[in-house]
Amino acid sequence: MNNTAIATQPAGTLHNYLAPVFAQYPLEVVSAEGVWLRNRIGERILDMYGGHAVASLGYGHPGWTAALTRQAQSCNFQTNAVPMSVRVRAAERLIRFSQLDFASVFFVNSGAEANENAMKLAFRMTSRSHIAAIEGSFHGRTAAAGAVTWGAAQKWYGFPRAPFDVSFIARGDMAAIEQQVTDKTAAVIVEPVQGLAGAVDLGAPFLEALRRRCDEVGALLIFDEVQCGVGRTGYPFAANMYGVMPDMITTAKALGNGFPCAALLASAKVTATLKLDLLGTTFGGGPMACAVMEAVIEAIESENLLERVRRVSAYIRATCIVGPVTGHQGAGFLTGLRTTRPAKEIQAELLECGILAGTASDPNILRLLPAFILEEEQVDMLRDTLTDLPT
């Protein structure tokens, strides 16, 4: 077990001219390999947070690095106006990987941008002006994505008004689904497993009820799988895990393993409404992004990482309910550990022992979002460290 104190540094020392909008961990990373980060004085830190769920393959993955290098050397950029086989391959690969009945992919750059485009399509298809979202949701910081984010209006929204009508449904509240999703509703947007809220698994019955109600009133169902998608639950998407088919899935984070990219997967019904110039982007679907998306999916499939996520996440749940941890929630490698004390305290104590974990908007949830290559013996290090912390 590793209980040697790690040399942390005071938060904020690396801000310089960067906009002072991020609270920073007392840790400067200078290099990384696998699931390990290295700080300035050469100490190793086990990364159980994966850069907000981004580092799906971990650091320095050879296939990912080679794909990025190859594409950078052959052609680093062309817009969507110029056909490139790597873009076609990435779209095909993503749809095949999903094992879901999607007909097209629109590549963008970030989760918020994918959500903006999904909602825009829903408004156009239905000629309606209302979106229903779920309490606790996080969908991004842009005008539309922020408008459907729970609590944004009170905390950070910043735009003078929401660009459309929004209402929120309490988690698990079946009656509220009937009331809030009506013939005025263009779409319901939902994270099947809520991320920032603290790895909250909304469960199949609730998601099935949303699907049924959307069908009844002619609204579209959008799964925001920016955080929980691309293998993080141990399934290609949470939609596979729950057996609920949305009209659109938005995804990002794990899809690029650190190279910025995002995607909007659309059903045949949605795809049939697409026409020239309806959507656009400069960087989305760039060849470097497409090469890395292909490499990420290739690695997940060829290294059997979905099975690994299911196995090792079950091991976390079976072994890490120790010390100040009393329970778990979430799915796969979107795990919330319930803590007796404020999770921020435990996060700080873990970091001093060489483990980086995350927190959530629930103050008693420690959020784990490790790379899919995590092994049981690394979980043992977490378990042993948690065991020694005050309860």
Ligand X SMILES: Cc1ncc(COP(=O)(O)O)c(C=O)c1O
Shortest separation between residue 62's beta carbon and ligand X, angstroms: 26
* 139 is a contact residue toward ligand X (CB under 6 A): yes
Is residue 257 at the binding interface for ligand X, with CB under 6 A as the rule?
no
Q: x/- site string to ligand X, residues 268 to 297, per CB under 6 A?
A: ------------------------------
Contacts 24+ apart (CB under 8 A), 277-281: 278/121, 278/124, 279/106, 279/117, 279/120, 279/121, 280/80, 281/80, 281/107, 281/108, 281/109, 281/113
Check binding of 224 to ligand X (CB under 6 A).
yes
- What's the min distance (Å) between Cβ of 285 and ligand X? 16
Q: What are the E-state strand segments in the chain?
A: 29-33, 36-39, 44-47, 102-108, 130-134, 165-169, 185-190, 193-194, 200-201, 220-224, 248-251, 262-267, 325-331, 334-339, 355-356, 365-368
Binding of ligand X by 335 (CB under 6 A): no
198 binds ligand X (CB under 6 A): no
Residue nearest to ligand X as judged by C-beta position: 111
Among 37, 51, 118, 191, binds ligand X (CB under 6 A): 191
Instruction: Write down the least CB distance from residue 111 to ligand X, Å.
Output: 2
Among 50, 136, 195, 284, binds ligand X (CB under 6 A): 195
Query: Among 91, 214, 226, 297, which residue interacts with ligand X (rule: CB under 6 A)?
Result: 226
Of the listed pieces 134-142, 212-220, 234-242, 309-317, which binds ligand X according to CB under 6 A?
134-142
Segment contacting ligand X (CB under 6 A): 6-14, 76-84, 88-96, 189-197?
189-197
Spatial contact of 225 and 249, defined as CB atoms under 8 Å apart: yes
**Per-residue CA distances from 153 to 150, 168, 289, 362 (Å):** 8, 12, 33, 18
Phi, psi (degrees; rounded to nearest 5) at 134: -115, 140
Complex with ligand X: residue 253 or 383, whichever CB lies closer: 253
119 CB-near residues (< 8 Å, 6+ apart)? 131, 144, 145, 148, 164, 186, 187, 189, 222
Judged by beta carbon, residue 229 or residue 323, the one nearer ligand X is 229
Choice from 90, 252, 261, 306 touching ligand X (CB under 6 A): 252
> Min. distance of Cβ 193 from ligand X in angstroms?
9
Q: List the x/- string, 82-121, binding to ligand X by CB under 6 A.
A: ----------------------------xxx--x------
Tokens read off for 145: 């994505």
Tell me the residue length of the chain: 391
Closer by beta carbon to ligand X, 140 or else 324: 140
What the block records as the tokens of 279 is 């959507």
Taking the complex as a whole, the smallest distance from the CB of residue 260 to ligand X amounts, in Å, to 8
**CB nearer to ligand X: pick between 93 and 139:** 139
Number of residues that bind ligand X (CB under 6 A): 15
Q: Which of residues 36-55 bind ligand X (CB under 6 A)?
A: 52
Residue 354 in the binding site for ligand X (CB under 6 A)? no
The DSSP result for 323-378, as a single string, is: TTEEEEEEETTEEEEEESS-HHHHHHHHHHTTEE-B--SSTTEEEE---TT--HHH
Residue 266 CB neighbours (<10 A): 24
- Find out whether 354 and 8 touch, Cβ atoms under 8 Å: no
Query: Which positions lie near ligand X, rule CB under 6 A?
Result: 52, 110-112, 115, 138-140, 191, 195-196, 224, 226-227, 252
